[in-house]
Structure 1
Amino acid sequence: MNDRMCDFWDTLLRNERRANKQKNNVELNQKIITDLLETLCPEFPSKSIQVHPFGSRILGMAGPDSDLDLYVDIGNSSALYSETLTDKVIQEEKIITKALQKNPSKWAFLANVEGHCPVIVARHKNSNIQCDISFSNSMICGQSKLVIYIFELQPIARLMIIYLRGWVKELQIQSAFRSHLLVLMVIFFLQVRGYLPTVYQFQDQLIPDVGPIRSVDNQFL
């Protein structure tokens, strides 16, 4: 084994250990979640609010500067993706933003990222971790659970993504290859080669609740 190959494996294992450390830091994640709940609950007194972590830190593929993705369920865990921003979503974005700005000892508000699924960006003061806060699309949590399941089926997938994240960072092309694209590419690669089930096999015996729904005669409804 030559020096270049040794360096490859050393770097990959080092990055994996770092990602595992972030994934397993449950206490830190819970502290951030608790601070966010304490910040938001007074602003939604009639709602039962829950905060769910997801994304690269939870999946065990994060880098040293990775954000912590958080989904805020404002008493509506069934909120699904919509192409149109509703008045309710716009109002919730304003309330969450103001709540963060009212708590400068815990949060440094950074930005509102607009789009079909708005994201509020803030830095948790105590941990100095940037948090991307979503609140209008619960599908993102389900997607993380699916990726975790895929990693359990084929553990090499996570190592492949960790390697690719380092590769795109080294080439400075992160903007073109965001993490979710790398996940899709790796899953597709492994599916084509028969190391992961197909989408059809994943959906076997399941009734989809998003997108076109098939009837019993296999026609789209």
Structure 2
Amino acid sequence: MSLPQSLQELLKNINKTVAHLFKLSNDALNDKRTIQLVDDLTNAFETQQFDVEVHMFGSRVTGLASSESDIDIYLNFEGDECIEAELIKNRSEQIKNCLNTDGPKWEIEFISNKSRTPIVRLSHSPTRLQCDISFTNGLSVENSKFIKSFNTAYPPCRQLILFLKKWMLLGNLTGSNFGITSYALTWLVIFYLQVTYKIPSVATLIKSHNRSKIVSGWETGVGNNVPIDVPELSIPELLLGFFEYYGRFDYMNDVVCPLLGITCRKKIFTEILALPDTMALYIAQIQKAKPEYFRVDSSMCVQDPFDLSHNLTKAVPILTLKRFKQYCKESALMLR
């Protein structure tokens, strides 16, 4: 399997590409259309007397978006969590009816109530932006806050992710259904930096912050201060390290675990007593009436550092993983 020509060309122009992508992401961060969309959404709910808080999350918050990236919104209904199927259906209908009442600004494109994260997708005609509204729990908001803090503390991390998103796209490795998502890629990058440069694990940051914040049963109290002491390295050097690390990673037996900042063996998830104390909330969760187990039967395992039951790459097919690993090896050869 040889490296696609598009990836070879990309790797010949790393610094120029990174500079271009960084500019586009800054433009997206400063895009006034997002403010207009959030204001219009807030006003629509206030007019209908909805007691709801509107929170933006995702790439538009973390600095990893382009000008055409969707807007991700979480609606917090009086701190309520929306879990039961009937409540999810009623809530999405409420949102749809409210926006239809608000007039021609909004076009509901589709409603998905059965996915892990139910969403209402709509378009906003004044800005021509697409928007995904979720409403089940606020974990995504906390994830985005942390990734933003990390990217702010160590800007090369943001540059690395932006370049690798392009690399994944050209390599046909990404996608929300059967590829490696941008969110999973972000944690692959952060984990590589944790392991290679001894950046504090998420568990260490939670302990040092010492201010618990439980969202949907999971600990998210990491704070905004991420102490990072990394030697000054160029983006090509960091990329080489990333490609070498994941080109030799043992996907058959190991789990990428940003919570601990080290790899875990898959087999410990089948033996509750073998799990570390830092996964106490996961142990409690799988002992409930309706447990959700971390999926270790997937070809690739990346554990969400907050929602410890969630394998971010559980849907990645074995052939996609093989290409990812091979492209990492061949990209490393090009950069050596």
Task: Tell me if TM exceeds 0.5.
Answer: yes
1:207 to partner: Cα distance: 3.7
> For residue 147 of structure 1, what is the aligned residue in structure 2?
147
Q: Deviations over 1:81-118 (max 9, x none)?
A: x7x43533321111101222334520111111232321
Q: Deviations over 1:41-61 (max 9, x none)?
A: 344x2x432211111012111
Deviates more, 1:102-111 or 1:29-38: 102-111
1:102 aligns with 2:106: no
Identity %: 23
Relative distance call for 1:211 and 1:30 in structure 2 (3 A) is closer
CA distance in 2, matches of 1:171, 1:104: 42
1:171 aligns with 2:171: yes
Indicate if the aligned counterparts of 1:123 and 1:131 stay in contact, CA closer than 8 A.
yes
Q: Which of 195, 200, 204 is the equivalent residue of 1:192?
A: 195
RMSD: 2.4
Q: Deviations over 1:22-58 (max 9, x none)?
A: 1122x32221011112222344x2x432211111012
Unpaired runs of 5+ residues, structure 1, are: 213-217
1:12 to partner: Cα distance: 1.3
> For residue 74 of structure 2, what is the aligned residue in structure 1?
71
Q: Which of 22, 25, 28 is the equivalent residue of 1:16?
A: 22
- List aligned pairs for 1:1-221, cutoff 5 A: 7-25=13-31, 27-43=32-48, 45=49, 47-76=50-79, 79=81, 84-114=83-113, 115-175=115-175, 176-204=179-207, 205-207=210-212, 209=214, 210-211=217-218, 220=280
Relative distance call for 1:166 and 1:91 in structure 2 (3 A) is same
- The one-letter code of the counterpart of 2:58 is G
Unpaired runs of 5+ residues, structure 2, are: 1-8, 220-276, 285-336
CA distance in 1, matches of 2:70, 2:10: 31
CA distance in 1, matches of 2:43, 2:202: 40
CA distance in 2, matches of 1:135, 1:65: 23
CA distance in 2, matches of 1:135, 1:198: 29
CA distance in 2, matches of 1:156, 1:4: 18
CA distance in 2, matches of 1:116, 1:126: 30
Task: Normalising by structure 2, report the TM-score.
Answer: 0.56
Relative distance call for 1:196 and 1:111 in structure 2 (3 A) is same
Relative distance call for 1:19 and 1:10 in structure 2 (3 A) is same
- The one-letter code of the counterpart of 1:11 is T
Instruction: Give SS of 2:199's match.
Output: coil
CA distance in 2, matches of 1:50, 1:4: 42
Is the radius of gyration larger for structure 1 or structure 2? 2
1:122 to partner: Cα distance: 0.5
